[in-house]
Amino acid sequence: MPTYTPPLRDMQFVMHEVLHVVDDLQQIPKHTDIDVDTINAVLEEGGKFAAEVAFPLNISGDTEGCSIDQTTHAVTTPRGFKEAYRQYIDAGWAALACAPEFGGQGLPYVVNSMFYEMLNSANQAWTMYPGLTHGAYAALETHGTPEQKATYLPKMTSGEWTGSMCLTEPHCGTDLGLMRTKAEPQADGTYKITGNKIFISAGEHDMTDNIVHLVLARLPDAPPGIKGISLFIVPKFHVNADGSLGARNGIYCGGLEHKMGIHGNATCQMVLDGAVGTMVGQPNKGMQGMFVMMNAARLGVGNQSLGLTEVAFQNALAYAKDRIQMRSLSGTKAKDKPADPIIVHPDVRKMLMTARAYADGGRALQVYCSMLLEKEHHHPDAKVRADAGEMLALLTPIAKAFLTDNGHIATNACLQVFGGHGFIKEWGMEQFARDNRINMIYEGTNTIQSLDLLGRKVLGNNGETLKKFGKLIARLVEEEGVNEKMAEFITPIAVLGEQMTKFTTEVGFKGFQNPDEVGAAAVDYLRVAGHMVFGYFFARMAQVALREQAAGNTDPFYTAKLQTARFYFAKLFPETATLMRTARAGSKAVMDTNAALA
């Protein structure tokens, strides 16, 4: 059976020693009283909930899955899920980062992000039920009317009601401009909505009394394509004027998807049969509200893979220390045993360190993005808000795609450490790999994220935002350029930073002549950019560790951070050279393939 220990010390290192989040948070009026001890205490308790309540239900929930009553359309979650959710809301976890005016605790986003990393390590399928509510909450908080906020946000804040996002339809996934769901205006200002949605995570379940669906649909006179989509609130049960629940609305689950992973989460085929909804925002401007939810969800999906990377690493490490197999190539290490623990073998260590490095880098990026989100929404300086929003827009597709791709690499590497036992369900490793696989697909496939990064976020503004991130690297290079001990961490990012300008210009020029060049280069480009971002954070982590050691700190924690950074730059970061070469190879070898694909 797998185990899980919340990585609190690693979180504290990134938050307090590398990124100094409290210093930044105290510049925001609502967080002037926040301190290190408060953040640490909340996350310590959150870790207990994740490890002691959510984690024990992970394998059993995967085995049992969800079930549907085809007569009533009611969906039942696995045993223990509903009770765990009750503990979650009773302890106030649902309200952690929500606004106090709606009953929330108003804690920083970064605290919620690290709490959710632990929940995702413990049980991604369960965590998706409350997790999706945060995105729906954000969309309503930003675009909802005062009446809509008063009706829905207090219940979503408390966790009494959950939320879902209803986008995909059987004939269209990412291309929402093809959507057919219709919304007919009614005399009372509401809309009757009819259509079918698929792949709706947590679209129906038995954990709460009501589900607040955010639904995309078309008005009768809507223009074609993406510019003709509106956003609606469609509750599972109507809400009376006094806040009590009324009659059942015309939205129900027509069936459950049979999936590769996340079996404990209800992935629903939703039927809207004259369901009554109210519009969020302006007619035909629904994507503005939905993008708020989708961007929050994209950061959340990256966090899902970070959680799975961490828990897979922990279990593979423990197994590698205990499992004996053959002797070390450099001589016997465990003379009292008939064979050496497999952790002595170089390739086993490489797989373990790959997972560890991708967990450490991913955590740094998640903390950084959480702080950008905080500044964008709450910083008193308008320029700081604008700069934070611009940088977050650049990093969001990287946080989603790079972290989930890395999660795929890491969970499969950790499964491989177990050998044949990794393929067996009782060890939990195959579930981590299966559960992670969806993270590369939903909330916009990783190819879509790559096109968004290269086409919109980089080439769309002539690389201006990318240059701003480059200035962060340049500042660090200038600060540590003469420090010989930092050279192995600084030189790679300095070189790549210079290469990125030429690389981006070259891809952009080719794309101007032939758009397929952007499509052919985008996935490789995002991965290069991801390594550039990770390299920056690993250099900063190494900087802190070296300073601690120079000050006489002998804690092996800092030695471990340096070893991880060295491994990353030696074994993972060099992938950028190959990626730039394949991106530069252009689109011809991909597109001139009609005979091969006939």
Find out whether 322 and 341 touch, Cβ atoms under 8 Å.
yes
Give dist(CA 31, CA 280) in Å, integer: 29
- Contacting residues for 20 by C-beta, under 8 A, at least 6 apart: none
| Angle at 164 (CA atoms; ends 176, 104), nearest 5 degrees | 130
Q: If we measure between CA atoms, which residue out of 598, 436, 442, 449 comes closest to residue 522?
A: 449
Q: If we measure between CA atoms, which residue out of 494, 454, 464 comes closest to residue 387?
A: 464
* Tally of residues, the chain: 598
Give dist(CA 222, CA 224) in Å, integer: 6
Encode 315-338: b = buried (16+ Cβ within 10 Å), e = exposed: bbbebbeebeeebbeeeeeeeeee
Find out whether 156 and 136 touch, Cβ atoms under 8 Å.
yes
Find out whether 229 and 286 touch, Cβ atoms under 8 Å.
yes
Find out whether 30 and 77 touch, Cβ atoms under 8 Å.
no
Number of H-type helices and E-type strands within the chain: 18, 11
Find out whether 226 and 286 touch, Cβ atoms under 8 Å.
no
Give dist(CA 504, CA 135) in Å, integer: 32
- Contacting residues for 320 by C-beta, under 8 A, at least 6 apart: 341, 342, 343, 348, 352, 417
Residue 564: how many other CB atoms lie within 10 Å: 20
Q: If we measure between CA atoms, which residue out of 234, 321, 301 comes closest to residue 273?
A: 234
Tell me if residue 514 falls in helix, strand or coil. coil
Encode 90-124: b = buried (16+ Cβ within 10 Å), e = exposed: ebebbbbbbbeebbbbbbbbbbbbbbbbbbbbbbb
Give dist(CA 504, CA 453) in Å, integer: 12
- Options 376, 443, 480, 517, the catalytic residue: 443
Is 443 an annotated catalytic residue? yes
Give dist(CA 288, CA 291) in Å, integer: 5
Q: E strands along 318-445, which residues?
A: none
Find out whether 513 and 586 touch, Cβ atoms under 8 Å.
no
DSSP code string of 344-356? GSHHHHHHHHHHH
Give dist(CA 1, CA 473) in Å, integer: 43
Find out whether 253 and 165 touch, Cβ atoms under 8 Å.
no
Q: Which one-letter amino acid corresponds to residue 553? A: N
Please give the structure tokens belonging to residue 570. Answer: 């030696």
As annotated, the active-site residues are 443
